[in-house]
Amino acid sequence: MLTALSPAEAKDYRLASPDGRTLVTVSAGTTLTWQVSRDGCTVLTPSEMALTIEEGGNTFDVGSKVLSSRTGRRDIIIPTPIYHKSAVHDLCNTLTLKLSDGFAVEFRAYCSGVAYRFSTTRKGDLTVRDETAEFNIDGDRDLFVPYVNDCRAGERWCYSFESYYDEVPFSQTVPDSLATIPLLVSLDGGRKAAIMEAGAEDYPGMFLKRSPSGNMGFTAEFAPYPLETALFRENIIPTRRADYIARTSGERTFPWRVVVISDRDADLADCDLAMILAPECRLEDTSWIRPGKASWEWWSGIHISGVDFEAGVNTATYKYFVDFSAANGLEYVVIDAGWSGRSLMEVRSGLDLQEVVDYASSKGVGIILWALWSSALEQAPEVFPHYARMGVRGFKVDYIDSDDQETVRKMFEMAALAAENRLVLDFHGAKPAGGLHRAYPNVLNFEGVKGLENSRWIDLVDEVPINDIPRYDVTCPFTRMLLGPMDFTPGAMDHATWEKYVGDESNPHVIGTRAHHMAMFAIYEAPLQMLADSPTKFMREQECTDFIAKVPVTYDRTAVLDGRVGEYLIMAREKDGVWYLGALTDRASRDIVIDLCFLGEGDFTADIFADGINADRCQEDYKHTSVRVTSSDRLKVHLAEAGGWTARIERER
């Protein structure tokens, strides 16, 4: 057993961010705690951290006895070619405390937040029975809480990681209910703190729940290790779990526990800590990885018209989708559920997959196939090389719905196997990236977001939607997108007002204006971006489609110009000298000003899609204009209810 210090013997260690504004104070006494302040204002009150380890039949807690300390500084530029910036700056001050029994804990203080992680250099394997990670706050703060709901087969830790946000003060949070991350806390002076993790590998992901100790704050909870599983409909469900959370190597680093700190809400939508703290890229050659946009049949229910074949899961339909992608410069077609049986080697009758793949290849379009997680786990060693030889470019793997240690480990293994076969992946029905996208950049996208698919079946109460979808649209870029790319699948071409919305899975439409949904392409990060609606509808609205098709999926620079969580957001992204701007608002109409000072010298042409004068009543109404602008211009923009605005700004030759 470790010998703990008495309170009188407790020692404090301090670490400041490079700008000197954020201070981390670590106290080593009977327990190891950290507290965080910014400009003298409290972010975290003393919060405990520990690992409970079992080894050789003995159980002990790691995290109190400090043998030595070391400070340092990191100043590294990290290339990030498949991201919304070409590089990120890892600049921070560090504090490492060497603990007894071969353990250590490292703290980092960035200008944008703080983080810590445990590490160990013990021989052999060890069992982590539990981890303590507290995040205590100093009052009844207002929160954005993404509660877990709709658990698969009633299993507490099996969930799709898709949550709307409960906006409540801490006193109204629900005891014992799990929340996903990031969880957002409002601080004094308009600041906010987002609690999250980064770099989880071979270890379960972190949930949060209200602290059971009576502290005003949250504590981490982790899915116990699955010992036995069974197939329940589409999901693999643990039927027996261990009394520990991980069995792992005794020489490793553990995931980062992270608090992002923002002075203004816009900073949250432009934070790189998840990428910076992720595992380094494992691939020597990434040149073959092709980010891009895809046409996709599932959301629209394959509603196409004006053709001389019966639409469905068949060869003619997918060649039609290929033609649409090729004509509009889209890199992919995603063939969703229904093309195969549970065995991915059995292709549905009526679909000549090789013919579709060859046809797509001749037009410069790649095919991505949907796969059930349970099928992919069992069959990937055979399936991945088989379809790679056929010419398939990737897989969309769905219904993962878990992040215990085994699931996280297998996601990394599947990413590595896909890379060996030069396949890209989209992990749908999955936890957000959390760093996997840096280690294996062939994993282009992750779901873990209440995306457009939910517009097919929104529940109504008193004939209006139960959830405020436009508000979520301008919340997730500040919260969920902190963890990396999100498979939101924008691009609907049929729209309805809040009052007139009715769910219709056979012919879906969305809440929000045309410009609102077009602006998502510039704002929502997704190196694999699906265009949700039917090619027939996109061709009907070719003017809008032409604009969407030009929006990149990776960028050289990103600038968040303004925004407030749940209210509005204005973002600018640059690729090869061309700027792409987007603005979104919630259900309140508003007037905004967009300062173009970031453009630099010269004259530019702005191709603009804005809400039309009647967009509040007819959400398809938009106005398309082209104007000359310079960096000295400040554009006055009116956003309708659930409205938007988007522009492509290019230097004049």
List 398, 426, 468, 473, catalytic entry? 398
280 a catalytic residue: no
Q: Is the dihedral of CA 16, 21, 26, 27 positive or negative?
A: positive
DSSP assignment of 332-379, as one string? EEEE-TTSB-SSTT-BPTT--HHHHHHHHHHTT-EEEEEEEHHHHHHH
Residue keyed to tokens 């070619």: 81
453 a catalytic residue: yes
Cβ atoms 74, 108 nearer than 8 A: yes
Cβ atoms 241, 165 nearer than 8 A: no
- Kindly report the number of other CB atoms within 10 A of residue 471's CB atom: 20
> In 3-state terms, what secondary structure has residue 55?
strand
Give Cβ neighbours of residue 450 (< 8 Å, ≥ 6 apart). Answer: 162, 163, 164, 467, 472, 476
- Return the structure tokens found at 365: 């379009």
Alpha carbon 462 to chain centroid, angstroms:
32
Cβ atoms 446, 430 nearer than 8 A: yes
> In 3-state terms, what secondary structure has residue 345?
coil
Alpha carbon 206 to chain centroid, angstroms:
15
Residue keyed to tokens 């049929």: 494
Alpha carbon distance 571, 225 (integer Å): 41
Per-residue b/e over 153-170, b at no fewer than 16 CB within 10 Å?
eebebbbbbbbbbebeeb
- Return the structure tokens found at 548: 């969407």
Enter the DSSP assignment of 633: -
Per-residue b/e over 94-122, b at no fewer than 16 CB within 10 Å?
ebbbbbeeebbbbbbbbbbbbbbbbbbee
Alpha carbon distance 358, 370 (integer Å): 18
Q: What residues pair up with 34 in beta bridges, in sequence order? A: 26, 47
- Return the structure tokens found at 49: 């951290």
> In 3-state terms, what secondary structure has residue 182?
coil
Q: Report which secondary-structure segment, H or E, holds 550.
A: helix 542-550
**CA R_g for the chain:** 25
Nearest residue to 380 (alpha-carbon basis) of 350, 411, 358: 411
Alpha carbon distance 482, 473 (integer Å): 14
One-letter amino acid at 462 equals D
List 201, 403, 406, 453, catalytic entry? 453
Widest pairwise Cα distance in the chain? 84
The residues that are catalytic are 398, 453
